[in-house]
Amino acid sequence: MVVVGGGNAGMSAALAAAERVQKVLLLERAPFDERGGNTGFTAGAMRFAYEGAEDLLEIVTDLDEATLARTDFGSYPESQFYDDLARVTQNRCDPELAEILVTGSQPAVRWLKSKGMRFLPIYGRQAYAVDNKFTFWGGLTLEVSGGGRGMVEFLERACRNNGVTTEYGARGRELIVDSRGIVGIRVERQSPDGHLQLEDIECSSVVLASGGFQSNAAWRVSYLGPGWDLAKVRGTRYDTGDGIAMGLAIGASPAGHWSGCHAVAWDFNAPEYGVLQIGDSFQKHSYPLGIVVNSDGQRFVDEGADFRNYTYAKYGREILAQPGQVAWQVFDAKVIDRLRDEYRIRQVSKVRANTLPELASKMDGIDEIAFLKTVAEYNGAVRTGDGEFNPNALDGLGTTGLHPNKTNWAQTIDQGPFEAYAVTCGITFTYGGLRIDNQAHVLNDAGAVIPGLFAAGEMVGGLFYFNYPGGSGLSNGTVLGRLAGSSAGDRASSRG
């Protein structure tokens, strides 16, 4: 059998298939140095259901007693995962896909651990120290050791150790079908003399796991709308919709939110595509601690509407709609020490000043007078509370009389030094894709299985609409990849 795509979903599919068949070929379009799909550009966080610390300590086994005493992991039951999915997708997520993801999330993490992957608690990004206690929030608790790049290396090693053959620089071009269903795939490779050549590979099963179409500017405009060609791409340049196109060409049914995508606040001067050496650090996700203004000096989103896990994937779209596709995140001295590590990289679009007028003068293109008026109005609308500022909880301390109001974590911006960060829209992946059933078979327009064709990961449509709970992407890739690989492996083994 053949797997198309060498990210988390594809490698998970290959690993699961290797538990059932001896000959598994994984085709990765990118060259070796750019391998790993979108996975290598993530922070490695995985959302999964757990009842309490006992579940986590079976996955993370090297925490000392002193650390445990200072940590409240809480719980994230399946019911909460379902509720979060329904809430952020405006109740549009496919119930069957939601059930597969939620019930399969913790088993998927345990399966990865059994393959050699290590996990760590996400201190700092998902739990702030308040009164010498870390309290986790927002359903995200563990990440892969080494982040996204660590995950790619773990999965590569596991694939090698389990007999999977991986070929880089190999692009799936066309599915070959007859009355039996999938019988092969046409692959484009580069010959030693630099010419592209096509070769047909016989197989009885294909898993498509080659991502969405976020790196295809023409498709972005066609499906997401005008202006989306101006978005930066957070991850790999190779997710141009190849797998989706191959499936549609043989009658696969399109599904999901084709005009929707995961898009975040991304450094304004970041390059067109992601940089593996920097990974996800062009993102800027501490906006709940400050305010966000456009070049007209106006606020345009509720920075404290919810934990950032439930807002960051939709706010990129809001930034893209602003003049010049730019916004500024503004913080004062009270919160600067709480900004995430991504704000401290060398490649950052940042200005700093001791006074607000000086800060405004350094914010390129900003309407300085309007900005200072916005900050003054915001400061006057803040409702103050008693006790230490606590970003681990929805504190309800917002503003009154503004449009939009800030719902939580509103603090005056009045203590220098001040910092402002220029951001634009960074697209992560698209929500539209192919329709699958509960065994990851790709379905045609009549709702029937296309024999031998399976799909997993970002190219599956129907799970995410409008928004996305943070950390669900890697979990979805592993859960559906494992399911698709198992189903495809069973078919391949039954056909000899």
> pLDDT exceeding 70 applies to what percent of the chain?
100
Residues 284/329, Cβ–Cβ less than 8 Å: yes
3-class SS at 274?
coil
Distance in angstroms (rounded) separating the CA atoms of residues 111 and 149: 19
pLDDT tens for 204-234 read 999 999 999 999 999 999 999 999 999 999 9
H runs (alpha helix) in 321-465? 356-362, 368-381
pLDDT tens for 336-375 read 999 999 999 999 999 999 999 999 999 999 999 999 999 9
Q: Which band of pLDDT confidence, cut at 50, 70 and 90, is reported for residue 236?
A: very high
pLDDT of residue 404: 98
> pLDDT exceeding 90 applies to what percent of the chain?
93
pTM of this prediction? 0.95
**Tokens 């109001």 -> residue:** 405
Burial status of residue 403 (CB atoms within 10 A of its CB: 0-12, 13-18, 19 or more):
exposed
Mean predicted lDDT score pLDDT of the chain: 96
pLDDT of residue 483: 98
Q: Delimit the domains of the chain by residue range.
A: 2-259+432-494, 261-385+394-426
Does residue 63 register a pLDDT over 90? no
Q: For residue 79, how many other CB atoms are within 10 A of its CB?
A: 10
What class has domain 261-385+394-426? alpha beta
pLDDT tens for 239-249 read 999 999 999 99
pLDDT of residue 496: 56
pLDDT tens for 454-484 read 999 999 999 999 999 999 999 999 999 999 9
Structure tokens at 224: 């997401």
Task: Give the chain's largest Cα–Cα span.
Answer: 73
pLDDT of residue 192: 80
Q: What is the mean pLDDT of residues 88-110?
A: 98
More confident residue, 346 or 387: 346
pLDDT of residue 366: 98
Q: What is the mean pLDDT of residues 20-29?
A: 96
Contacts of 480 (CB under 8 A, 6+ apart): 9, 100, 101, 436, 440, 455, 456, 457, 460
pLDDT of residue 242: 98
Contacts of 41 (CB under 8 A, 6+ apart): 148, 234, 235, 236, 274, 276, 279, 280
Cα 474–Cα 453–Cα 438 angle in degrees, nearest 5? 60
Q: Which band of pLDDT confidence, cut at 50, 70 and 90, is reported for residue 486?
A: very high
Distance in angstroms (rounded) separating the CA atoms of residues 317 and 305: 16
* Beta strand spans in 53-117 (E): 71-72
Structure tokens at 330: 């503004």
pLDDT tens for 269-298 read 999 999 999 999 999 999 999 999 999 999
- Give 366-388 as a DSSP string: --HHHHHHHHHHHHHHBPP-SS-
Residues 315/264, Cβ–Cβ less than 8 Å: yes
Q: Which band of pLDDT confidence, cut at 50, 70 and 90, is reported for residue 331?
A: very high
3-class SS at 49?
coil
More confident residue, 210 or 127: 210
Residues 378/301, Cβ–Cβ less than 8 Å: no
pLDDT of residue 131: 85
CATH for the stretch 2-259+432-494: 3.50.50.60
What's the one-letter identity of residue 358? E
Q: What is the mean pLDDT of residues 48-57?
A: 95
Distance in angstroms (rounded) separating the CA atoms of residues 143 and 47: 9
